Amino acid sequence: MKQALIIIGILILLPFQTLAANELPLAAGLCVNKANRLIQQEKIDQAVSVLEAFRARQHEVDKKKTNQKGYNHYYIDFLLGNCFLMLDQQSKNSAHVKKAAISFNRAVEKKPDLTPAWVNLARCLYELEEMEKAAMAFVKAYESSKDKKAEHLYYASVCHTFTKNYTQALLVFNRLVLAHPEDIKLEWKETLVNILFSLEKYRQALFWIEELVQKFTDKKKKKWQEILLYQYLTLKMEKKALNYAFFLTKADPLEPKWWKALTHIYLGKNQLEEGLASFIIYSFISPLSQQETALMADLYLACDIPLKAAQTYEIWLTKQTNPGEIQDQVMDKVNKISRAYLDGFQNEAALEWIEKGLTIKKDPGLLQIKANLLFGQKKYSSACDTYEQLSKFNSHKGRALLMMGYAAWNDGRIQKALIAFTAASGFAGQRKAAQKALSQLKQISKIK
């Protein structure tokens, strides 16, 4: 689009048309010659005055029913329009552009095949932000010219895009493609892709994107490679997306975005190990964000590499500047660290992180891990106390009371065990086990 704006701005530099002396009535020819001399002397205001005064004499022609003098000749309007554009170039006054547009419009009404007038009219309408009219003028410029310039259709298409008339923009561009396939610049094809995207014709755009990727170099090539890969993913072309992402990582292995994209594709196919491998390479060439660090840790955990997962979660925690603001996230990571160390048979490290987490918040997940760990280590007294704390949470109450009873029983606190089992028997999920434990405890008490 920006390229189009630059070129449209240059249209003011089109050379003025000159006519053979016998093509203009004598009076009109003398007027034009006088105006041209003033233009060459850069006396544009005076040239405008001469041309307007000559046109004003048309009322005399209307009375006499003759036009031999040429007061209303199209070339007077065309030259007058050019003068207004020259004034605009000097002072940047939109009023001059409006007057130029009126003059060029009069010229094409009198001579519809005057291509330069259509071109300059289009340029004026563009500057006045009358884009639909500008588009029409560019089409007329194309149709009226003998050499059929491709850029006129291109500019017409661009003008339609500014009014979001993408359907008409595509129709004009398709006309351009059919008539001038060899003249379409790469930048124009970028515009076509934008039009197709606006109409959600993504599959139709693929052909053009692939060509842009092939022919562009450097930054633009990379931009369109990224767009092409995204389109493959969006259009569910999974095999193409995977093959292309793999190709990109080989062609440009130091570009992080290709490894990240490859990771995304692998994870979408639930190929976690392959996804982790490509993500590790990504981490070598690009610092991980907090979100990416968490994803890396989750992948390690999912791929059964618990100690590496724990270390990566720890890195995530060290990057938190104000953990209080995201307590839930912190507690989630502490939970995962604790479980990861347990899975890696690092019980003491797990317990250490549990204690750190519990200083932040009495989290039931951490309490459960701690209690189970202590029970497994046969530290029944501490386990009993921890299960008791856990029983304060309704979602854990039944299970916590049952385990509290077992811990108290193993610790020799029979009365506490009886109380815990009795309370646990009130929960459907623990009723059978609790009643069995109560029966055993009562038999033991009788024997004693």
The pLDDT of residue 308: 97
Q: What are phi and psi of 59, to 5 degrees?
A: -65, -30
In this predicted structure, what is the pLDDT of residue 194? 97
Distance in angstroms (rounded) separating the CA atoms of residues 299 and 308: 10
> Which residues in the chain land under pLDDT 50?
1-18, 20-21
114 in Cβ contact with 84 (< 8 Å): no
pLDDT score, position 59: 64
Given a contact cutoff of 8 angstroms between Cβ atoms, the answer to whether 83 and 48 are in contact is: yes
pLDDT at 70: 81
**What's the CA gap between 249 and 265, in Å, rounded?**
13
Identify the DSSP state of 183. Answer: S
Tokens of 279: 């993500």
The first and second tokens of residue 12, run together, are 């003011």
Structure tokens at 349: 């490290």
Between CA 317 and CA 313 the distance in angstroms is 6
* Largest Cα span, the chain: 141
For residue 421 the two structure tokens come to 């089992």
Q: Quick one: tokens of 171?
A: 């129709």
Residue 325's pLDDT is what? 55
> At a CB cut-off of 8 Å and minimum separation 6, what does 25 contact?
68, 69, 70, 73
Q: Which of 317, 321, 301 is nearest to 309 (CA)?
A: 301
